[in-house]
Amino acid sequence: MKYNFLGNTGLLVSEICFGTMTFGGKGYWENIGKVQQKEVNELMKVVVDSGINFIDTANVYSFGESEKLLGQSLKDLGFNRNELVIATKVRGRMGEGKNAVGLSRYHIFNSVDESLQRLQLDHIDVLYVHGFDPRTPIEETMRALNDIVLTGKVRYIAICNWPAWVVMKAIGICKLHGWNQFVGMQYFYSLAGRDIEREILPLAADQNLAMMPWSPLAGGFLGGKYTRDNEKVEGSRRTTFDFPPINKDKTYDIIDVITEVGKQHNVSTAAIALAWVRQQPGVTSTIIGAKTVEQLNDNIKSTEVTLTEDDLKKIDEVSALPKEYPGWMVERQSADRELK
């Protein structure tokens, strides 16, 4: 297992981050997974034994159950808390109350306290804002995030699913006031969804922000089970929860290519899809999830795969984004600034 610095910080995190969205299975989250305590402990032991030190959860995963199961697992297995980096999130609705949702100062402070209780911890290492809140001023959100860090309850703050212009506005506000800034970003990134290459990844590189891709297997679609001849997979979350949205016709073409590349490396289709994400510029830690130890071990094995230039060229040819404006104009007009 390799480790990378978390953006512009001195904190090292494993190149693979273990996501716990499959823990709990409460409400509609059952479509993603319903792993309970015994199995959670089995998975967490494999995670830590493999060298993964970065664990990702969220308050909304199974409406708090994921945090509870993770917290109990840390206690049951007696892990050294100081050797793990625990991340959770704030933004989603956690109750029927008028203020039980969003990124107001009120909800952020309440949510952090509730997450700490469920996790049985005294601090959160990385707190993500889990989406955009169009009704709360960005100044209020960023001031609250700065202040929650100053309490010691949160070590670092990060961002998830915001448009690039909003992220830069928030960074500018923080620089103006001398507040704590985002250290990383968590966005959907996979061979079936390379959208962040347009604006988000360039922003992250420019501002030295860590990038943690979520759903690198596109909700399991790149896991190797789905083909044109097998569009419905029993027991797969995509069958009952078709998310995130992707161009499936194009993705079948991608699957054909990475399956062949996988045969050459003697690994699964999923391992190739994960290896591709891991090897992309700017990627810090790829978030994986699992329902079983077998799935988990296969995902971890992807760290042993190094795709060649020829592999990457083949995969890029079938998965690259079409050029859009103003990107193609910027590229065209920048040509006369290149040194000959």
Active site residues: 61
Residue 110 phi/psi, 5° resolution?
-65, -45
C-alpha dist (Å) from residue 270 to 151, 267, 297, 310: 41, 8, 12, 19
Kindly compute the dihedral angle of the four CA atoms of residues 277, 79, 59, 47, in this order, to the nearest 10 degrees. Answer: 30
| CA angle (65 as vertex; 113, 297 as ends), nearest 5 | 115
User: Cα 62 vs. chain centroid, distance in angstroms?
Assistant: 17
Dihedral sign, Cα of residue 119, residue 183, residue 51, residue 270: positive
Q: Are 277 and 215 in contact (CB under 8 A)?
A: no
Give the whole-angstrom CA distance, residue 78 versus residue 243: 35
